[in-house]
């Protein structure tokens, strides 16, 4: 066995720093430090270690602490103990590359950089831009103070207090979702969305992004053609691209996606899926009129493509009752309808659903088990109670009234305070105003400047494409009070050099 000079060993172990107050047992800290020395090659395989008494003296520790560290490493296979001879690094360990004193620490920091190659992609660069400022004209988030959070808390707690513990907590449930939730959700969707579905047509998911990802995993093959409007939602586009699909864009105008352009595309190539947000197109908020809706359904039937209908804010339409989704008029089984309760509660609340033909739901439920064995059935049953007793419906009606008032107030502020610098159409629904800025205003610089003043706005980059740039951003009004909206517009006004 290799022998390491005693002065060298003394120096190695004397350099170990232990922190008794850090919350981790000292013997485990010592064991980890010794593993690091072995991995770095500073103590070779077969190398003899100081005795427990000697090492305790070097480190000024209780001998029992050192003994426990040795025992821990013997159990893990790092050390071998031989009676009468001492303790050694296990001979069977592979010899690592000796650690060089001159090596840069950054090259050896495995916690910051992995040793293997990462294959990044441009579509992954559009990440989440967290809102951390006091004021926010965000991407269309709801006001959590209007959500029935207390009612949800009571309903969730009630689920934990009831009997049949094994039935509720002792085993896995169905990947589709809690039976109670699916039953309540089915009745709710049939009543509010004009659907005619059963529980077998519904799959519970953790929000729209999960629903998109499941469809990509279950229905999209590499090379498939997927069509989306430009501008669109980058997160959806990223999911399609990550699945290996070829993403094709078609123009969006004041009536949503241009169905004529889609038909021309279908005549030239085989389209697998079309992603749409027909109720309020993301990001422009315009609604797809009935003639385009019917033509879109007809094209799906004729050309055999799937329609993924993302109905992210169905409940918030101000001019009249919400337009029923495409899924309500789908007689050929071509639509996968997706919604969530994030706008009723908050983006932090992850509970949504997919609606489709029974065989599609059965297939996607199987795919779901590869990613997530099941959803939160306790939360789902709590939500079922709020659907059944009308809490959700009452909360949405209250929020709709408040959001309409905030929309009108915010649009008046934009018109009077930012006159000549912005253009917009008062949205018929949704929680944002698609606002076009004068071209001389640098949106990236503006976003950075107002953030220093405590206001968040988008810099517009997610809405720019090689073939499209309206120089516009979404300014969300729903999550702010009137006072906050007035203060926010004031900050914008000063940053744009309009203040008197």
pLDDT at 166: 60
pLDDT at 158: 86
Do 360 and 279 lie in a common domain?
yes
pLDDT in 10s for each residue of the chain, 500 residues: 454 556 777 778 888 888 888 888 999 999 999 898 888 888 888 888 888 888 888 888 899 999 999 999 999 999 998 888 888 988 888 877 655 444 545 455 777 888 888 877 777 776 667 888 999 999 999 999 999 989 989 988 888 876 666 666 655 567 788 889 999 999 999 999 999 999 999 999 988 999 999 999 999 999 999 999 999 999 999 999 999 999 999 999 999 999 999 999 999 999 999 999 999 999 999 999 999 999 999 999 999 999 999 998 888 989 878 889 999 999 999 999 999 988 888 777 888 999 999 999 999 999 998 888 777 888 888 999 999 999 999 999 999 999 999 999 999 999 999 999 999 999 999 999 999 999 999 999 999 999 999 999 999 999 999 999 999 999 999 999 999 999 999 999 999 988 65
Do 346 and 446 lie in a common domain?
no
Is residue 155 one of the residues assigned to a domain? Answer: no
pLDDT at 218: 95
Do 355 and 411 lie in a common domain?
no
The residue from 331, 365, 391 where one domain ends is 391
Domain span holding position 426 = 135-141+394-495
Is residue 149 one of the residues assigned to a domain? Answer: no
Is residue 118 one of the residues assigned to a domain? Answer: no
Is residue 147 one of the residues assigned to a domain? Answer: no
Beta bridge partner(s), residue 179: none
Is residue 339 one of the residues assigned to a domain? Answer: yes
Do 375 and 259 lie in a common domain?
yes
Say how many domains are in the chain.
3
Is residue 164 one of the residues assigned to a domain? Answer: no
Do 264 and 325 lie in a common domain?
yes
pLDDT at 489: 96
Do 368 and 222 lie in a common domain?
yes
pLDDT at 178: 86
Is residue 119 one of the residues assigned to a domain? Answer: no
Between CA 321 and CA 334 the distance in angstroms is 25
pLDDT at 117: 84
């Amino acid at each position: 066995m290799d022998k390491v000079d005693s002065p060298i060993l003394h120096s190695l172990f004397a350099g170990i720093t232990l922190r008794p107050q850090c919350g981790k047992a000292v013997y485990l800290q010592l064991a980890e430090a010794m593993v690091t020395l072995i991995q770095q090659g500073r103590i070779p395989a077969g190398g003899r270690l100081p005795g427990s008494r000697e090492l305790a003296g070097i480190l000024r520790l209780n001998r029992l602490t050192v003994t426990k560290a040795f025992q821990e490493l013997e159990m893990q296979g790092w050390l071998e103990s031989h009676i009468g001879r001492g303790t050694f690094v296990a001979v069977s360990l592979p010899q690592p590359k000796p650690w060089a004193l001159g090596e840069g620490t950054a090259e050896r920091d495995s916690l910051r950089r992995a040793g293997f190659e990462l294959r990044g992609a441009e579509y992954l660069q559009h990440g989440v831009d967290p809102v951390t400022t006091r004021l926010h004209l965000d991407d269309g988030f709801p006001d959590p103070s209007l959500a029935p959070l207390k009612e949800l808390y009571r309903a969730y707690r009630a689920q934990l207090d009831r009997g049949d513990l094994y039935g509720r907590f002792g085993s896995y449930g169905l990947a589709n979702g809690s039976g109670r939730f699916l039953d309540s959700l089915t009745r709710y969707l049939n009543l509010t969305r004009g659907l005619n579905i059963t529980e077998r047509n519904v799959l519970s998911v953790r929000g729209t992004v999960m629903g998109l990802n499941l469809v990509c995993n279950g229905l999209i093959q590499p090379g498939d053609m997927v069509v989306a409007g430009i501008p669109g939602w980058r997160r959806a586009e990223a999911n399609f691209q990550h699945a290996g699909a070829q993403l094709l864009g078609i123009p969006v105008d004041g009536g949503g996606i241009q169905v004529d352009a889609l038909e021309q595309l279908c005549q030239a190539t085989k389209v697998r899926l079309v992603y749409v947000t027909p109720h309020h197109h993301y990001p422009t908020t315009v609604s797809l009129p009935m003639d385009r809706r019917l033509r879109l359904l007809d094209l799906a039937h004729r050309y055999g493509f799937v329609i993924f209908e993302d109905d992210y804010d169905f409940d918030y339409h101000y001019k009249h009752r919400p337009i029923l989704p495409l899924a309500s008029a789908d007689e050929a089984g071509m639509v996968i309808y997706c919604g969530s309760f994030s706008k009723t509660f908050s983006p932090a609340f992850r509970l949504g659903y997919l609606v489709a033909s029974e065989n599609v739901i059965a297939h996607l439920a199987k795919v779901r088990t590869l990613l997530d064995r099941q959803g939160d059935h306790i939360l789902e049953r709590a939500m079922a109670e709020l659907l059944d007793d009308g809490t959700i419906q009452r909360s949405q009606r209250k929020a709709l009234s408040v959001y309409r008032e905030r929309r009108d107030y915010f649009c008046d502020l934009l018109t009077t305070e930012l006159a000549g610098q912005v253009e917009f159409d008062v949205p018929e629904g949704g929680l944002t105003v698609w606002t076009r800025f004068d071209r001389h205003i640098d949106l990236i610089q503006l976003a950075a400047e107002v953030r220093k003043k405590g206001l968040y706005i988008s810099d517009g980059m997610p809405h720019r494409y090689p073939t499209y740039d309206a120089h516009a951003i979404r300014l969300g009004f729903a999550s702010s009070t009137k006072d906050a909206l007035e203060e926010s517009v004031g900050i914008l006004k000063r940053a744009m050099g309009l203040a008197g």
